[in-house]
């Protein structure tokens, strides 16, 4: 009888009248009280709640007085809720709404990625309208996977969406082997110089250390002849390191009109909810203000919501005059030239440097010539 007690049971007492006849008649009619214990002038027992009315009708016939002492079971716990129409109306509205909301992104799971990879993947997916609050379609998932691969950060990517959860799985891109990165059109010099050393990976080396080469001259070819005269083609891959001079000219103003932040900040928020953008009221940004934008997913007490927030901070700026000394201007020009050198020849080793600085009016003319050793393969 424990299942009956768990669902709906009644504990009652029977007094006066013919209590023995009541038990006999109840058993004959298929009513089986349990937990029967004798009491002065009667007994105490339990029965299923749906059998109590029949038991009470039989007791009235035999002039036995019944009194309910306790109601037990899940039914009596939820019965007060069954009388609340508003609760059931809200539940009837909430369940379809929850099922409908599952077609939107609630959370993006990037747990398999590193912190840097997760940030870059989130930026790519955001550009393809895949973020909390966005509707998801198969076309969007396919476009998102393609965008992740095209970003150059990943060699493999997969997007899986189910019940509001977008799972991002990806593998970091690996550098191409030198042979695979080679070319079938040969490698030429992007500038002239004296060859210092060579490193052939594939193809045919056309120069030797100590040789003077010119810009555009072939360095590594794609064919070589066997002893029998047969030509064998292979991608041209390798490096040719040469020593040469590289020059750069810069002009830096000693007095320059710039915009400096005044300290005033205004913040704008935009809410992405169920595929729609809602701009929240905010004060207008100042003219010529600099902006900084960040995105974050919204949650309620740690539970993700199907929406995301874009926060844009506008920093007010005011005109100002920046004054530099000749030493500061030369240092800035030197830094700019060095950055340009590293962008052009990332592996450059500096052998010598010759500088020339000339101040004329409100500007500093800077010319530098570096003698460097670097890979000259175009």
| Spatial separation of the C-alpha atoms in residues 196 and 198, rounded to whole Å | 7
| Spatial separation of the C-alpha atoms in residues 207 and 199, rounded to whole Å | 11
- What residues does each domain of the chain span? 2-78, 107-172, 187-244, 249-254+323-375, 258-316
Structure confidence at residue 247 (pLDDT): 94
Tell me the pLDDT tens digit for each residue of 328-346: 999 999 999 999 999 999 9
Integer Rg of the chain from CA: 42
Tokens representing 270 are 């935009």
CA-nearest of 181, 178, 159, 155 to 168 is 159
Structure confidence at residue 180 (pLDDT): 47
| Spatial separation of the C-alpha atoms in residues 219 and 207, rounded to whole Å | 6
Q: Please indicate, yes or no, whether the overall pTM of this predicted structure exceeds 0.95.
A: no
What's the CATH fold of domain 107-172? Ubiquitin-like (UB roll) (3.10.20)
The CA-CA-CA angle for residues 127, 129, 135, to 5°, reads 170
Q: Any residues with CB less than 8 A from the CB of 33 and at least 6 apart, and which?
A: 23, 26, 45, 46, 47, 55
- Calculate the CA 104 to chain-centre distance: 15
Do 77 and 32 contact (CB within 8 A), yes or no? no
Tell me the pLDDT tens digit for each residue of 170-227: 888 877 655 445 565 688 899 999 999 999 888 888 899 999 999 989 898 887 666 7
CATH architecture of 2-78: 2-Layer Sandwich (3.30)
Task: Identify the band that residue 289 occupies on the pLDDT scale cut at 50, 70 and 90.
Answer: confident
CA-nearest of 56, 8, 11 to 31 is 56
- As a three-state string, the secondary structure of 105-143 is CCEEECCCCCHHHHHHHHHHHHHCCCCCCCECCHHHHHH
Structure confidence at residue 184 (pLDDT): 57
Do 146 and 121 contact (CB within 8 A), yes or no? no
């Amino acid at each position: 009888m424990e299942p009956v007690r768990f669902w709906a049971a009644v504990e009652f007492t029977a007094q006066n009248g013919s209590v023995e006849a009541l038990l006999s008649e109840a058993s004959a009619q298929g009513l089986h009280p349990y937990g029967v214990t004798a009491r002065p002038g009667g007994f105490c027992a339990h029965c299923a709640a749906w059998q109590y009315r029949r038991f009470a009708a039989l007791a009235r016939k035999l002039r036995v007085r019944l009194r309910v002492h306790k109601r037990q079971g899940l039914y009596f716990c939820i019965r007060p809720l069954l009388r609340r129409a508003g609760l059931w109306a809200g539940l009837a509205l909430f369940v379809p709404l929850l099922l409908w909301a599952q077609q939107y992104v609630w959370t993006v799971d990037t747990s398999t990625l590193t912190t840097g990879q997760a940030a870059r993947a989130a930026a790519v997916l955001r550009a393809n309208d895949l973020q909390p609050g966005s509707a998801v379609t198969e076309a969007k998932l396919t476009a998102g996977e393609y965008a992740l691969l095209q970003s150059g950060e990943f060699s493999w990517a997969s997007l899986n969406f189910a019940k509001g959860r977008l799972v991002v799985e990806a593998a970091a891109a690996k550098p191409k082997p030198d042979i695979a990165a080679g070319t079938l059109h040969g490698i030429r010099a992007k500038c002239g110089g004296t060859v210092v050393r060579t490193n052939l990976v594939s193809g045919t080396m056309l120069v030797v250390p100590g040789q003077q080469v010119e810009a555009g001259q072939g360095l590594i070819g794609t064919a070589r002849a066997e002893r029998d005269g047969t030509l064998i083609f292979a991608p041209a891959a390798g490096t040719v390191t040469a020593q040469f001079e590289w020059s750069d000219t810069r002009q830096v103003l000693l007095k320059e009109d710039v915009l400096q932040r005044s300290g005033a900040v205004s913040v704008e928020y935009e809410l992405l909810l169920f595929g729609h953008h809602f701009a929240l009221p905010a004060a207008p940004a100042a003219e010529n203000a600099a902006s900084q934008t960040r995105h974050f997913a919204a949650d309620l007490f740690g539970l993700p919501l199907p929406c995301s927030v874009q926060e844009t901070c506008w920093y007010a700026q005011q005109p100002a005059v920046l004054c530099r000394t000749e030493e500061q201007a030369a240092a800035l020009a030197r830094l700019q030239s060095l950055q340009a050198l590293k962008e052009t020849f990332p592996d450059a080793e500096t052998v010598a440097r010759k500088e020339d600085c000339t101040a004329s009016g409100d500007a500093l003319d800077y010319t530098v010539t570096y003698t460097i050793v670097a890979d000259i393969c175009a």
